[in-house]
Amino acid sequence: MNNPVFLRACRGQSVEHVPVWFMRQAGRSLPEYRALRGTGSILDAIADPVIASEVTMQPVRRYGVDAAILFSDIVVPYHAIDFGVDVVPGRGPVIAEPFRGTNDLARLRDLTALDVAHVTQTVDLVVKELEESNTPLIGFAGAPFTVASYLVEGSPTRDFAIIKGLMHQDPTLFQQLLERLVDITISFLRFQVDHGARALQIFDSWAGSLTRDEYQRFALPATCAVIDGLIDLGVPTILFGVGTGELLDLMATAGSTVVGIDWHVDLDQGRRRVGPKPVQGNLDPARCLSGEKLGVEAAREVLVRAGTDAGHIFNLGHGVLPDTDPAVLEAIVRVVHEEGRAGVQ
């Protein structure tokens, strides 16, 4: 594969236009996705490589984005090793028997390539289809702390009381849990690269629930270990969290190539906090719900705050909301490509 604009921006190189893709670009906002998926658990669709590859490709064809992201979910490897995970429509990941003690460590066995053969088959199909357009595929996984939040809490939470209790009451057990998650995460991401993924995103979606001290003690070391386990692959890595504005300087030390910035921090301020490292972001997804004109205005605001220094990948500050009109995202892609310049001398 040649050196596409997305990968060059990830490495802080000059680009002819700012690259753009959207988190959750494949999903409920697309009528073609709804027609294909129907009802049922997202895990059923992910288990079918033909469906999963088609869903991955739908936004690339419609929007002309500069990268595809694998249609998957951060709980897929834990479903694959039979930890008892399901994704319930309207609720999200639900764990039948949440992690509670030392005995549960054995349930987090090593992940094998056979366990996630359906995922790597999807990667194979997508990479083959992307070859002609020279569009890279982004693989992804959940960061250890965020995955631990689901496994310990048993379902999405707003207060994180159970996992914070475990962190502080039994830090040794919590560290053992994270060590198992680090190993599984590294394996899952390496399998995706082995089959052709050209970049990786690590979602630490719930890191923003932590204080700076908690993040340094309980989350950052495990994230560093994951990224360190991928360095030899030579592919860019993106670290992203929600509500992490006060953690950006710490996240920048994790070793990722790029730091994703959510919409709670203006991008110029976010770039200062991250320092001399490429960034990704950070249009508020809600700004895309009020029509094409306002969505484009919001995108231009992000481009202005990003400046013209090299190393900016345009994205939303979180995933595409289900009620987003695809025409708004199409218009945003056009504007970013036509008006976004980064590092061009």
Query: Catalytic site residues?
Result: 24, 28, 37, 73, 150
Q: What is the DSSP string of 72-117?
A: --TTHHHHHTTS-EEEETTTEEEESS---SGGGGGGSPPP-TTTTH
Cβ pair 64, 52 in contact under 8 A: no
* Pair of tokens at residue 340: 């976004």
Residue 190 to residue 231: CA distance in whole angstroms: 10
Q: Is 114 exposed, middle or buried (0-12, 13-18, 19+ CB in 10 A)?
A: exposed
Cβ pair 216, 145 in contact under 8 A: no
Rounded to whole angstroms, the maximal C-alpha distance in the chain is 58
Residue 196 to residue 181: CA distance in whole angstroms: 23
The H or E element containing residue 258 is strand 258-260
Cβ pair 266, 277 in contact under 8 A: no
Cβ pair 70, 139 in contact under 8 A: yes
Q: Scan for tokens 């994230």, then name that residue.
A: 223
User: Cis omega (within 30 of 0) on the bond before 282?
Assistant: yes
Q: What pairs with residue 203 in β-bridges?
A: 142, 240
Residue 200 to residue 259: CA distance in whole angstroms: 12
Of 182, 260, 255, 268, the C-alpha closest to 222 is 182
